[in-house]
Chains A and B, each alone.
Chain A
Amino acid sequence: MTRKAVSAASPANELSFPFNIRMLLAGWKALYLREGPLQPDSNRSAEWNRGRYLVEGLSHCGACHTPRNRLGGEKKDEYFAGAEVENWTVYPINANSPAPVPWNAESLTFYLRHGWHEHHGASRGSMAPVTANLGSIPEADVRAIAAYVSDVMGHPSQARIARGEAALATARKESDAPFAMRTNSTGNGVGEAIFLSACQGCHDGRRPVPFGGLNLHLSSAVNAANAQNIINVTLFGLPAAKGEPSAIMPAYHGVLNPDQLVALLDYMRDRFSDQPAWTDTRERVTATMSGEREVPIYRMDGTTQAPPETSMRTTPWP
């Protein structure tokens, strides 16, 4: 031998008990690992089957979007019913999607590929790395994923479609006349004052997503089960991607105290959502501001695909 043998011990396992006992995984796998190839559904299109294959396998959307039981297994009877992961609220992507404008295969494809959609906002939090990655895989695969997921969401009811149209109409009206937001005062005091002075400037919808903030009539976050995501982005902002243009939002933790943030959140829920008021906002605000709820901050890597036409003209200057 021309080389001396090297002793390279594997690093010690750093997982806490009982996760450091590899043998125990056998039990977990017996309960939750389904082995074998996914059988295509012959009643469905090739695209749908490809989508299901990707969603159930490599994309593993359910890893975040399906709630888990105490042993960490996905609850199959609550498929895509949403969950809370790393103190970010992961929305349901089944029939209970909180998006005011219902998703369809086309909007989902665009969103997953570009990291933003004019009717839904920008991909942020733990979703940012997902769209960052999906932006670089073949478009046909993203279409397939979108086809499958939108099928799981199901076709929205007429009532739901109508509500979506109404939300869009309100958002358009507000972008055309930004001070219309002011004249529709709900008299909600400090929450309204904070929103109009600190948030509306970007969030009135006059600058389209991803350049400007989403008009919140279109916001899933405002219609979600709790305020956690809005708490996260308001306190910590949305840091820009490194080295590439991306969406961005400033952080407000230096200027908001808990009472002010709670007032702001209550106002937003009241104004932009038809759903009943959140009940755990103060607990979440206090816990997030103290650090008890630890929130990982993700860069906006998922939004680096700017809209196709920015300042470049595509028609002759006359």
Chain B
Amino acid sequence: MAVNLTVNGKTHRVDADPETPLLYVLRDNLELNGAKYGCGIGQCGACTVMVDDEAVLSCVTPVLLLKGRRVTTVEGLGTLEKPGPMQQAFIEEQAAQCGYCIPGMMMRAQALLQADPSVTEAVIRAHLEPNLCRCGTHMRIIKAVMRAGALMRQNSQGGGAT
């Protein structure tokens, strides 16, 4: 069955059962492998992507719910040549060990900072709670998110691209 899905600004027509979780469509049909399968039951956050302006758990989101919604994955935050502020911050802070939790962390942080780029560390910690990291990269992740916020504020002041 064919389903229309708008991901990272592009509309795709995918051959998937409407009850398929978004995670599977992103990875299997669209080969956007940033979002990861960690638990499949919405408890680890490795599958986090954005739908419109909110962070959602794509492993428990059937695509039938997403008519007319805009999905953003980590691939939509920038490119290798031109990384967005979130990606740049994570690179600069070297915030990854195995890297499995990172796209989910970045997307949840992106949703938070898009709403308010000047949030404090305490707010960042509270908002990242649904995302787990088994390697213990938490301190660097938080530093990276703080850095991304600073970059976003800088960009919006300097009129640069986000």
A residues touching B (Cβ–Cβ < 8 Å)? 190, 193-194, 196-198, 201-202, 239, 248-256, 260
Q: Does B19 contact A (CB under 8 A)?
A: yes
State in angstroms the CA–CA spacing of A173 and B129 once bound together. 36
Contact of A254 among B20, B21, B54 (CB under 8 A): B54
Asked if A202 contacts B41 (CB within 8 A), the reply is: yes
Which A residue's beta carbon lies closest to that of B62?
Answer: A197
A254 partner residues in chain B, CB cutoff 8 A: 51-52, 54-56
Asked if B56 contacts A255 (CB within 8 A), the reply is: yes
Q: Does B42 contact A (CB under 8 A)?
A: yes
Question: What would 29 A/B residue contacts be, using CB atoms closer than 8 Å?
Answer: A190-B64, A193-B18, A193-B19, A193-B62, A194-B64, A194-B65, A197-B19, A197-B21, A197-B62, A198-B60, A198-B61, A198-B62, A201-B40, A201-B41, A201-B60, A202-B41, A239-B129, A248-B43, A249-B42, A250-B41, A250-B42, A250-B43, A250-B130, A251-B130, A254-B51, A254-B55, A255-B51, A255-B65, A255-B66
Per-position 1/0 for B47-80, Cβ under 8 A of A: 0000110111100111011100100000000000
A239 partner residues in chain B, CB cutoff 8 A: 129
A197 partner residues in chain B, CB cutoff 8 A: 18-21, 62, 64
A201 partner residues in chain B, CB cutoff 8 A: 40-41, 60
Give min CB distance, B126 to chain A, whole Å: 10
Which B residue's beta carbon lies closest to that of A207?
Answer: B41
A250 partner residues in chain B, CB cutoff 8 A: 41-43, 57, 60, 130
A190 partner residues in chain B, CB cutoff 8 A: 64
Asked if B61 contacts A255 (CB within 8 A), the reply is: yes
B residues touching A (Cβ–Cβ < 8 Å)? 18-21, 40-43, 51-52, 54-57, 60-62, 64-66, 69, 129-130
State in angstroms the CA–CA spacing of A252 and B42 once bound together. 10
Given contacts A201-B40, A254-B51, 17 further A-B contacts (CB under 8 A): A193-B62, A197-B18, A197-B21, A198-B65, A202-B41, A248-B43, A250-B60, A250-B130, A251-B130, A252-B60, A252-B61, A254-B55, A254-B56, A255-B51, A255-B65, A255-B69, A260-B65
Q: Across the A-B interface, how many residue pairs have beta carbons closer than 8 Å?
A: 51
B64 partner residues in chain A, CB cutoff 8 A: 190, 193-194, 197
Give min CB distance, B46 to chain A, whole Å: 13
B57 partner residues in chain A, CB cutoff 8 A: 250
State in angstroms the CA–CA spacing of A194 and B21 once bound together. 11
Residue from A197, A253, A256, A260 having most chain B Cβ neighbours under 10 A: A197
B60 partner residues in chain A, CB cutoff 8 A: 198, 201, 250, 252
Give min CB distance, B59 to chain A, whole Å: 9
State in angstroms the CA–CA spacing of A15 and B43 once bound together. 40
State in angstroms the CA–CA spacing of A252 and B66 once bound together. 12
State in angstroms the CA–CA spacing of A96 and B104 once bound together. 45
A194 partner residues in chain B, CB cutoff 8 A: 62, 64-65
B56 partner residues in chain A, CB cutoff 8 A: 252, 254-255
State in angstroms the CA–CA spacing of A153 and B137 once bound together. 51
Asked if A196 contacts B19 (CB within 8 A), the reply is: yes
Which B residue's beta carbon lies closest to that of A200?
Answer: B19
Which A residue's beta carbon lies closest to that of B50?
Answer: A254
Which B residue's beta carbon lies closest to that of A242?
Answer: B129
A251 partner residues in chain B, CB cutoff 8 A: 130
State in angstroms the CA–CA spacing of A260 and B21 once bound together. 16
Give min CB distance, B129 to chain A, whole Å: 7
B130 partner residues in chain A, CB cutoff 8 A: 250-251
State in angstroms the CA–CA spacing of A248 and B18 once bound together. 26
Closest A-B pairs by Cβ, 7 of them:
A250-B42, A254-B54, A197-B19, A197-B62, A254-B56, A255-B61, A255-B65
State in angstroms the CA–CA spacing of A252 and B61 once bound together. 8
State in angstroms the CA–CA spacing of A252 and B130 once bound together. 13
State in angstroms the CA–CA spacing of A207 and B69 once bound together. 32
